[in-house]
Amino acid sequence: MEILPGGVVASVRLASEEELLKKISKTGLRWCVRLSVLYIFLTYFLALTEMCGMCLPLNRRGQAHTDYTLPFLRWIPRKATAFRFVEPPITLAASGSHKVSVAENGLVGLRPIPEFGEWQFSAVQVRPGLPFYLFYFACTTSDHVHYRIGARWDDVDHFYVFPSIARISR
């Protein structure tokens, strides 16, 4: 033990600094978790306000989700998962060269189903001007199996399906 000016013992001082750092780390982690949960809650709340069952084409309005992999989810009506978010999605990462589609606003985005052996990861802005995003990941294996999860853009009829969870063999 070393006695510092002012009569402070060095080892005790270091121990209290370590305790203080641990306390700050725990407090910071708690705030990060709280803010993350709040962000997720607000994003999903804003998403619910953008629900638009009427934006579905007429031939899909009365249908259920036969494309969902899990049988107990197939009773969900398509109008309950149709949303109007900002088009097109923002590509965060992708493999290879993808086919693209043009949104109603004239901007270009990746088609939602990648070609065989390719994948994509994108973000969907819930409302214009607000920093709230939902995510979408899709891949199609070289064995012709397509997986996807997240907010899927329907590039033909210009709406989003959220949540979209699927495993489809072609």
Per-residue pLDDT tens digits for 28-45: 778 888 888 888 888 877
- Tell me which residue has tokens 């109603």: 104
* Cα–Cα distance measured from residue 84 to residue 70, given in angstroms and rounded to the nearest whole number: 25
Distances (CA, A) of 136 to 22, 29, 85, 93, 110: 36, 27, 13, 11, 12
pTM of the model: 0.72
Q: Which residue has the higher pLDDT, 1 or 142?
A: 142
pLDDT value, residue 12: 47
pLDDT in tens, 103-152: 888 898 899 989 888 999 999 999 998 889 999 999 999 888 899 999 99
**Rounded-to-10 torsion of CA 4, 5, 8, 10:** -20
Share above pLDDT 90 across residues of the chain, in percent, rounded to a whole number: 22
Contacts of 166 (CB under 8 A, 6+ apart): 67, 68, 69, 146, 147, 148, 149
- The one-letter code for the residue type at 35 is L
Predicted confidence (pLDDT) at residue 89 exceeds the cutoff of 90: yes
